[in-house]
Amino acid sequence: MATPRYLTKSRFKQALECPTKLYYTGKPEYLNTALDDSFLAALAEGGYQVGALACLMYPGGVEVDDIGHAAQLARTQALLARENVTIYEAAFAHDGLFVRVDVLRKTGNSVELIEVKAKSYDPGEVRGLRGARGAISPGYLPYLQDVAFQRFVAGLQCPQFEFRAFLLLADKSATATVDGLNQLFPIHRGGGRTTVTRPVDGVDLGAPLLAAVPVDIEVQEILSGTLDVVGVEMAFADAVAHLASAYQSDQRLGPVPSKACGNCEFKAENLPGAGEPRSGFHECWRQALGWEDRDFDSPTVLDLWKFTKKRELIQQGKLKLEQLVPADVGFDSSEPGTGGMTPKHRQWYQCSGTWPGGGDFYFDATGMAAAMRKWRYPYHFIDFETSAVAIPFRRGQRPYETVAFQFSHHVMRAGGRVEHLHQCLEVDPGVDPTLPFLRQLKAALSADSGTIFRWATHENTVLNQLRARLLDEADPAPDRDELVAFIESITTRKVDGVEIAGPRSMVDLCKLAELHYFHPSTKGSSSLKKVLPALMQSSDFLRDLYGQPVYGTTAMPSQNHEEPMVWWRSVNGLVADPYDLLPPVFGHLSSLELAALEAGADQSLQAGGAAMAAYARLQFEQIEQIERGALKDALLRYCELDTLAMVMTVQAWRGFQKGN
């Protein structure tokens, strides 16, 4: 018998993003850059531990761990025959719909339906789940739609029960009152399944860290509202029935091109060649717009960097960047001033492919020179890797508090000599790395007064968070004041709305790239992962230096490369991205899957997602020593490349200045 094509929670979520996705999902012939197995994302956020802790908040439950939909449904119905029961992973189905409920508590005919999410929630927030204007907050809407769908399906199957809905979230106002709480939930993988061992009864879990938020009002609002299904507003029940019917019959709904197409998991970067997975995005735009293969050769408005009006342009039929005029992006045709490019400059350069001075790229030598005159040798380049999980590592910490566990440190001397001088990786299970991290960083940067460089705001934000934690410690470390003074000396922070910069405040190279450097291959982005490959293509200095086996020698020492490394390599006529020259952190994942992890919906995964997941594995998963060592080596090499990439950036810019 064929397996029923149920519209499940995950399929419903996809359909809310774009109903056409239902046609592509689950088909191996289509490219899917999402993590089909969400293990790493859930691990990085602490989702597995939250789920296990939730069960301990509602003890004595029965887990529906049967294999197959039919067995799960039968087991659930048998348990619901009891007068009072708590069920983990209860199953409900009705007319092509199927859901599993994280925690269900039945008392007589009253049933609490509890959806567990590894998302933070502050009970003290005045607006709660609502935005400033009273509407459901976009940040919570997907979770509320999820629980509403469960409530809908369960109510259809069991109309005799009175359901109440809850979201169980990580309480940001709570503080762990015991040490090592996270270590009580080790993760095991095997047989295609991931399981979490829950502590035995009687283990002290301390004060509650999860908050049960009643959401009946929001759920009812969603159930009585409408959903947009390929441009048609339908009542919730009608929309669900329509989606389920389309999925069961394998009918493609739509498509309707929108700005969301840019982040579609079924979108290939380029037209697939023979033998490559099919691209749902290209099929959608062919069908909806009548495009031919040559139409995809031109950049589209989906590529436009940080542009907020893509929807309006698509509605006007302006789909290709070459179709736009300056007014479409609000550009006034001016050249960059003394302060460098504005976002409008970068957007228009993307559209037009032209910029002041012509050439293959734009480099503002004057603006960059003005910035560089403020720098002092030796130059220090630092990069952090951090984690933020729902269940704290130690007493006194809150859910999703930042944990800094790794840094890399390169130095450039006045004569041009480059050294990978220091690194730190603190990953012992259950050990808080904060103080060792800060002490080693202070020692690495305190030998001189040279300029310190970071890329973007992450390092500054992390250090300010660690400063606040140090000041809040009830039992402070003996060197607390020294560490706080060190942090204040190299960071920028706001006090009563006034920005205060330390005397040695870090220089943000990302901001300088945004103001003074534009290469069309970056598609407007100033991300280091985009800027470095562009510089490798365009810098003669980088080609001449790193095309030789110099890195990892006494001339350019490395902490992790025992054999000389050639970073500039030509592959099929193109310069290879240096990050592609390292083995992946997770060898079993493709580069597309890693990209999906890095670009996860949760903001905590926007940078360093693979590193966060690797740290979580080293903390919570029972893995062999060989694999543990491989993960640590990979983390060290990737973080080292992050700071080397910053060195390369400054070297390339200096080379451009000499050329000018």
Structure confidence by residue, pLDDT tens digits, 128-144: 898 888 899 999 999 99
Residue 573: the pLDDT is 82
Confidence of residue 14 (pLDDT cuts 50, 70, 90): very high
Confidence of residue 601 (pLDDT cuts 50, 70, 90): very low
* Dihedrals phi, psi of 611, to nearest 5 degrees: -65, -40
Q: Give the mean model confidence (pLDDT) for residues 445-453.
A: 97
**Rounded CA separation 439/8 (Å):** 49
Which H or E element spans position 32?
none
- Out of 88-102, 239-253, 371-385, 389-403, pick the least confident: 389-403
Q: Is 277 in a helix, a strand, or coil? A: coil
Which H or E element spans position 121?
strand 110-121
Residue 616: the pLDDT is 83
Confidence of residue 4 (pLDDT cuts 50, 70, 90): confident
Do 382 and 454 form a contact (C-beta atoms < 8 A)?
Answer: yes
Instruction: Compute the mean pLDDT over every residue in the chain, rounded to the nearest whole number.
Output: 90
- Out of 222-231, 343-352, 384-393, pick the least confident: 384-393
Give DSSP secondary structure letters for 522-557: GTT---HHHHHHHHHHH-HHHHHHHTSTTBTBTTB-
What is the pTM assigned to this prediction? 0.90
Quick one: which of 38, 51, 10, 119 has its CA closest to 604?
119
Residue 464: the pLDDT is 97
| pLDDT at 608 > cutoff 60 | no
Quick one: which of 278, 306, 143 has its CA closest to 218?
143
pLDDT (tens digit, 9 = 90+) per residue, 139-164? 999 999 999 999 999 999 999 999 99
Residue 291 burial class via C-beta count within 10 angstroms: exposed 0-12, middle 13-18, buried 19 and up: middle
Residue 44: the pLDDT is 66
| pLDDT at 605 > cutoff 70 | no
Q: Give the mean model confidence (pLDDT) for residues 232-245.
A: 96
pLDDT (tens digit, 9 = 90+) per residue, 36-90? 445 666 666 678 888 889 998 998 999 999 999 999 999 999 999 999 999 999 9
Residue 523: the pLDDT is 92
pLDDT (tens digit, 9 = 90+) per residue, 456-506? 999 999 999 999 999 988 889 999 999 999 999 999 999 988 999 999 999
| Percentage of the chain modeled with pLDDT above 70 | 93
Pairing of strands 498-501, 492-495: antiparallel
Tokens of 173: 């106002």
Q: Is 477 in a helix, a strand, or coil? A: coil
Confidence of residue 606 (pLDDT cuts 50, 70, 90): very low
Quick one: which of 20, 19, 116 has its CA closest to 61?
116
Q: Which amino acid is at 226?
A: T
**Rounded CA separation 290/317 (Å):** 13
Q: Give the mean model confidence (pLDDT) for residues 428-442.
A: 92
- Out of 245-249, 361-365, 473-477, 589-593, pick the least confident: 589-593
Quick one: which of 422, 497, 423, 433 has its CA closest to 469?
433
pLDDT (tens digit, 9 = 90+) per residue, 274-297? 999 999 999 999 999 999 999 999
| Percentage of the chain modeled with pLDDT above 90 | 74
Q: Bin 553: left if φ > 0, else alpha if -120 < ψ < 50, else beta.
A: beta
**Rounded CA separation 170/131 (Å):** 19
Q: Give the mean model confidence (pLDDT) for residues 257-272.
A: 92
pLDDT (tens digit, 9 = 90+) per residue, 181-217? 877 888 877 666 777 888 876 678 889 999 999 999 9
Q: Is 105 in a helix, a strand, or coil? A: strand
Residue extents of the structural domains in the chain: 35-223, 259-344, 359-660
pLDDT (tens digit, 9 = 90+) per residue, 169-187? 999 999 999 888 877 888 8
Residue 619: the pLDDT is 83
Range with the largest mean pLDDT of 49-58, 309-318, 598-607: 309-318
Quick one: which of 164, 69, 177, 52 has its CA closest to 116?
52
Contacts of 153 by beta carbon, 8 Å cutoff, 6+ apart? 92, 93, 94, 97, 98, 99
Helices (H), 137-274: 141-157, 216-223, 236-248
Tokens of 267: 């979108």
- Out of 335-344, 399-408, 595-604, pick the least confident: 595-604
Which H or E element spans position 422?
strand 418-425
